[in-house]
Chain A
Amino acid sequence: MDKEKKIRQIAFYGKGGIGKSTISSNLAAVYAERGLNTMVVGCDPKADCTRNLRGDVDIPTVLDVLREKGVAKLGLTELVGGKQVDMDEIVYKGYKGVLCVEAGGPEPAVGCAGRGVIVVVDLLKRLGLYDEFDLDVIIYDVLGDIVCGGFGLPLRKGLADDVFIVTSADYLSIYAANNISKGIYRHASREGSPLGGIVYNVRGAIDDFALVEEFAQSVGSKVIGAIPNDTSIMECEIYAKTAIEYKPDSEIADMFRNLATAIFENKDTVSPTPLSKEELAKLAQRIRQKTREEHLIGGSA
C-alpha cells in the first residue's frame, strides 16, 4: 500500500442486504473488462461477496485455510516457520481474471467476525498480495454495520483510498449509512479512509433520489451514482453472474459502467459530518410521509 504504483483502493459499506456485493462485483467486472488487474476482498463471514464473479463456485476462505494450517502437523523444515499460506490457496481467478478473496468467518452467534477481518487483512499485507499481482484496483466489500473495531479495519490508513456507502431510500439503510459515517469520521482524524460518496441503490418501497441526495449533502458528501431497481439484476443473481457478464449490452450494465467510471475517477472526498439523532428523526418523518404518499398514489389499501 505504501508502494509507488497507484493502486486504486475502494471500500464499500452499507446495511446488510443493501446490494454492496452486487455493486462491487459488477464494478470489478467492469474494471476487468477495461483491462485493469482487479481484486475483490470480501469481508463477510457469509463468504458470498464474490459469488457472482465465480459462478457460485465454492472457494476456501482465508480463515478456513488459516485454521487448517494452524492444526496441521509440520514437516521438519516447517518447524520454525510453521505452515505457510500460499497465494493460490486463497486467491481465485473469477470472471475476466478478477481475483476473488473471501475472508470468511464464524457461524452466526459464535466467535468474533471482527477479529476475523483483522487477521485476514494482516495476512494479505504480509503475503504481499498487492505487489504479487500487480494490481490496479482493489475493492473491499465489508458487511453490514460496523459493530466493533475489527470491521473498521478497511477504514484505517493505508487501506481504502475512499469509502462508498451503499444505501437505499428507506430509513434503516439511511440509519446504517449514518452509523458508518460515524466510523469513517472517527478514523478520518487519523488519516483514515475518507468518504468518497453515496451510492444510491434503489430497492424497497420508494424511489426517492432527492432524499438520498439530501442525506449525502447533509453529511458533506454527494451521491456518486444510482442503480435503479432492475429485474435483470435479480435474474443475474440466480445465475450467479454479474450483469456485465450475463447481459453486457443491457441498460443496467451501462449504468454499472458509468458508476464504475465515476467511482474510479473520484477525487472528491470528505470526512463526513454524521447526522445527529434529531436530524435523523426529521429524515425518518419525511421517509414515512413519502411512503404513505406512494401508497395512496398506488391506490392500494
Chain B
Amino acid sequence: MMYEQEQKMEIGSKKGNGKNVGFLRPLISAYSTLPLHGITAIPGKISGALMVANSIEDAVPLIHGPIGCAFQRKINPFRPYLPFYETPCTDMNDLEVIYGGEDKLSLGIKETYEKYHPNLIVVITTCASDLIGDDFKSVIEETKAKGDVDCDIVYATGDFVGKTKPVGYQDALYAIVDQMLCNGIGIGQEKEEIDKNENSVNLITFPIHGAGLKVAEMASVLSEMGIKINKICFNHTTVKDLYELPKADLTITDYPMAWARLMKERFGVDHYEILAFDRYKETRDPELFSPYGIEGSTRIFMEIAQQLGKEGEAEEVIARRKENAIERLSKVKKGLEDKKVACMGGIHGIGMSMLSDVGMKASVIIYKTQALESRLTSDAINEMLDINVGLARKYGSDPEVLVNPTIEEEIKAIKKTGTDLVLSMGASAHKYNKEGIRTFDSMRFTLHHQRIGFGTPIELAILLKEALKKPQRRNPLLSMLEYDSYRNNLIPEWAVLADMFATIREGATGDMVMSENVYTTT
C-alpha cells in the first residue's frame, strides 16, 4: 500500500533537473485536443525548425522572411501552450523580394549576434526567400569571413531531407550536423579526429517539456549495463552538447531521422530507432511497433546492447529489472486482472503488450481511418489494423473490431462485450461517460508517461485502477453539443474543415485547364 503511495507521488510530481514539470501537464493536456497535424491543417517547416532552435539553450533563430513568418510561428503547433519568445526576422518587404534579400540577411545575422550573443544562429528560410533564390550558404560564409560574428551559423530550408517528417524539424537537425558539426573537418578524416566516448549512446527526445524525464529510466538501465550516456538531447541542450554528439557510438531516436543517418556517414555513429520503420520494411514483424511495456522494453534494451556488444551484461541487468518490475506489478495490478478495455487502433496509444502486462484484455478495437485516408494507401491502413488485431490476439485477447463506427455502434459493442473501461483519446471521453461507461485518457498517458522502461506498466496499472474508481456515469456539459457522427470528437463545422482539408490536399494537382472559359481541375 505504501509502495503504491510512493509510486503515485512519483507520478504526480516527476521532478527532473531540479525543476518540477508536473504542473505543466494540465497545460499541455488542455491544448492537446486541437485537431491539427494533418487533420485540419498542417504546420509548415518553419514551426519544426523553430522547435529545434528553441530547444538549444544558447541558440537563436533568425527567420529570413517577412514579419508574419516570425510572429505567427511564435504560436507553435507542436507547443501551443507556450509561445516562443525570441524569433527575430529580417523583415523582408517588397524591395527585398524584387532585388534579393541577401544584404539584409547578412546585416541581420550580424545584428542578431550583437543583440543576443548566441552560440548558434539558425537561419530559417521562408517562402519569400526560397522563391527569389537567395544564396543563403554564400551569405553565411561571407558574413562569417568578415569576422564580426563569432558564433556558429547554420541555415535550414526544408530541402535537405526531402519528405522526411516532420520536415522542418528533421531539416534543422540535419543542417546542424551537416553544417556545424562537420564544419572544418575533412571527409574521411573525422573518425580518427574525434575523441570517442567508448560504449556510450546519445538519447534523443522530441523537445517538448518533460521529454528528459521520459528517458530517465532508459538512461539508468543502460548505465547499469555498462553503456554510458554521452548526451541526452533535447533537455536543456547547449551548442557544446551538440558538438559532443559525435563522440558516442550509437544514437537512439524515436523514429528514423535523417540527421542520425548523416551522423553515421560522417562520424561513424550508428543509429537505433525505437519505432523501427526501416526494419519493419524488411521483416514485417508487428512487434517492431510495440516497443513499450515489459516485453517491448526487454527487446529494445537487448537490441541496443547487441549493437554495442554488451549482450552479456545486458542479460543480467534486464533479467533483474524485469523480475523486479513484474513483482511490483503483480501487487499493483490487483483488481485489474481480466478487466476488459476498448481501445483505439493505430500506431499511437497504449499497446496491446502493455495491456497484457497489467492483466487486462482488449474486448473492442475501434479503428478510425478518416484522418489517415488522405495520406496512407488503403493497404497501409489495413496493415495497421492487422498489426493491432494480431498483437491483441498474441497477448490473449479476442477483440471485436469496429471500423469507422458511429458513436451508437461503439456504445452498443462496448456494452455488449461487458467492457469495463474505454481507452479514449482525450476529446471523446464525455460520450462514453454519459452512457455510463468509464474512460481512461490514453492520449494523456502517451503524452506524459509512456516511455521505454519497466516502470511504465506499473504507472499504467496505478492510473487504470484510479480510472476504474471514477464515477461511472456523468452528465458532461460537453454532451450538450452536437458532434459529427464519424469524427465524433469534432463538432460538425470542424468535421467539415477536416474533410475539406483531406480532399483539397489530396486532390487537384494544381494544374488548370481552360475549357470554354471555365476553369476545371485536373
Q: Quick one: which of B349-405 are within 8 Å of A by CB?
A: 374-377, 379-380, 383-384
Residues of A contacting B375 in the complex (Cβ-Cβ under 8 angstroms): 73-74
* Residue contact B277 to A79, C-beta cutoff 8 Å: yes
Residues of A contacting B379 in the complex (Cβ-Cβ under 8 angstroms): 75
Q: Does any Cβ of A come within 8 Å of B132's Cβ?
A: yes
A83 to B375, CA, bound (A): 11
* Residue contact A73 to B163, C-beta cutoff 8 Å: no
A3 to B188, CA, bound (A): 10
**CB-CB under 8 A for A149 and B100, given A73-B375, A190-B135:** yes
Residues of A contacting B160 in the complex (Cβ-Cβ under 8 angstroms): 122, 126
* Nearest CB on A from B274, distance (A): 12
Which residue of the partner chain B has the closest CB to A191?
Answer: B138
Q: Quick one: which of A131-156 are within 8 Å of B by CB?
A: 148-153, 156
Q: Quick one: which of A22-41 are within 8 Å of B by CB?
A: none
* Residue contact A79 to B165, C-beta cutoff 8 Å: yes
* Nearest CB on B from A129, distance (A): 14
Question: Among the listed B132, B133, B138, B376, which residue makes an inter-chain contact with A74, where contact means beta carbons less than 8 Å apart?
Answer: B376
* Nearest CB on B from A208, distance (A): 35
Question: Among the listed A2, A73, A76, which residue makes an inter-chain contact with B280, where contact means beta carbons less than 8 Å apart?
Answer: A76
Residues of A contacting B278 in the complex (Cβ-Cβ under 8 angstroms): 77
Residues of A contacting B506 in the complex (Cβ-Cβ under 8 angstroms): 71, 73
**CB-CB under 8 A for A149 and B135, given A76-B384, A84-B162:** yes
Interface size of B as a range: 35 or more
Residues of A contacting B131 in the complex (Cβ-Cβ under 8 angstroms): 112, 114-115
Residues of A contacting B199 in the complex (Cβ-Cβ under 8 angstroms): none
A81 to B374, CA, bound (A): 17
Which residue of the partner chain B has the closest CB to A67?
Answer: B509
Residues of A contacting B130 in the complex (Cβ-Cβ under 8 angstroms): 115, 118
Q: Does any Cβ of B come within 8 Å of A119's Cβ?
A: yes
Q: Quick one: which of B151-193 are within 8 Å of A by CB?
A: 159-160, 162-165, 187
* Residue contact B380 to A81, C-beta cutoff 8 Å: no
A298 to B376, CA, bound (A): 69
A79 to B277, CA, bound (A): 8
Question: Among the listed A67, A75, A115, A150, which residue makes an inter-chain contact with B377, where contact means beta carbons less than 8 Å apart?
Answer: A75
* Residue contact A76 to B376, C-beta cutoff 8 Å: yes
Q: Does any Cβ of A come within 8 Å of B148's Cβ?
A: no
Interface size of A as a range: 35 or more
* Nearest CB on A from B289, distance (A): 9
* Residue contact B277 to A77, C-beta cutoff 8 Å: yes
Q: Does any Cβ of B come within 8 Å of A80's Cβ?
A: yes
Question: Among the listed A126, A149, A187, which residue makes an inter-chain contact with B134, where contact means beta carbons less than 8 Å apart?
Answer: A149
Q: Does any Cβ of A come within 8 Å of B256's Cβ?
A: yes
**CB-CB under 8 A for A75 and B509, given A81-B277, A156-B135:** no
* Residue contact A81 to B163, C-beta cutoff 8 Å: yes
* Residue contact B280 to A82, C-beta cutoff 8 Å: no
* Residue contact A126 to B162, C-beta cutoff 8 Å: yes
Residues of B contacting A75 in the complex (Cβ-Cβ under 8 angstroms): 376-377, 379-380, 383
* Nearest CB on A from B183, distance (A): 13
Q: Mark A99-134, 1 if CB is under 8 A from B, else 0.
A: 000000001001010110011001100100000000
A107 to B383, CA, bound (A): 39
* Residue contact B256 to A81, C-beta cutoff 8 Å: yes
Q: Does any Cβ of B come within 8 Å of A157's Cβ?
A: yes
* Nearest CB on B from A87, distance (A): 14
A33 to B100, CA, bound (A): 43
A78 to B375, CA, bound (A): 10
Question: Among the listed B138, B142, B281, B380, which residue makes an inter-chain contact with A73, where contact means beta carbons less than 8 Å apart?
Answer: B380
Residues of A contacting B380 in the complex (Cβ-Cβ under 8 angstroms): 73-76, 78-79
Q: Does any Cβ of B come within 8 Å of A70's Cβ?
A: yes
* Residue contact A82 to B164, C-beta cutoff 8 Å: yes
* Residue contact A157 to B138, C-beta cutoff 8 Å: yes
6 interchain residue pairs of minimum CB distance? A149-B133, A82-B163, A190-B138, A77-B281, A76-B380, A73-B377
A-B CB contact pairs (8 Å), 13 listed? A74-B375, A75-B377, A77-B280, A79-B165, A79-B277, A80-B165, A81-B163, A82-B162, A82-B164, A112-B131, A118-B133, A149-B132, A149-B135
Binding site for A on B (CB under 8 A): 100, 130-135, 137-138, 141-142, 159-160, 162-165, 187, 255-256, 277-278, 280-281, 347, 374-377, 379-380, 383-384, 506, 509-512
Binding site for B on A (CB under 8 A): 2-3, 67, 69-71, 73-85, 107, 110, 112, 114-115, 118-119, 122-123, 126, 148-153, 156-157, 187, 190
Known: A73-B506, A126-B162. 15 other contacts (CB 8 A): A70-B163, A73-B377, A76-B380, A76-B384, A78-B380, A79-B380, A80-B256, A83-B163, A84-B162, A85-B162, A107-B511, A115-B131, A122-B160, A187-B135, A190-B135
